Amino acid sequence: MGQQQLLLIVLSVIIVGIAVVVGINMFNDQAASSNLDAVTADLMNLASRAQQHYRRPTAMGGGGGSFALLDANAQGLEYLTTQPSNENGVYSISTAGTASQVTVQGIGISDGDKDGTNCTARVTVWDDSVALSVVNR
């Protein structure tokens, strides 16, 4: 009877250990997914601001029907936000604005697919629409 109880205890410890490892992995996956969702939400907000900039007259500090002022540097991003980073990630203009479009990129703080590169998404903004693409999970 003693060996049977010892075997049950060892088996229970193994099962609990496996359950803990699976739970930790599920938590990490959910955290990475949440980070990507937050980055895409921030990018959609920046896309909206880029469209506002496009429509705002140049006399009021806007683009006057162009994205050309949105250069791929910190100065261009200042038209959209004063804080290029937050708790979700770091944002930049990846392709300088032209008369008709601009591309904004967000790099998150977590690496969901464990490839060594944090989650990355881009949004291309036109005057009447946006296109979001996930570069890396």
- What would the two tokens of residue 122 be? 């881009």
Residue 1 has pLDDT above 80, yes or no: no
Q: Alpha-carbon distance 72 to 52, whole Å?
A: 18
More confident residue, 21 or 2: 21
Whether the predicted model's global pTM rises above the 0.85 cut: no
Mean pLDDT of the chain: 93
Domain spans of the chain? 2-136
Residue 111 has pLDDT above 90, yes or no: no
Q: What is the mean pLDDT of residues 24-53?
A: 93
Q: What is the mean pLDDT of residues 114-130?
A: 94
Residue 74 has pLDDT above 70, yes or no: yes
User: What digits encode the pLDDT tens for the residues 45-70?
Assistant: 999 999 999 999 999 999 999 999 99
Burial of 59 (0-12, 13-18, 19+ CB in 10 A): exposed
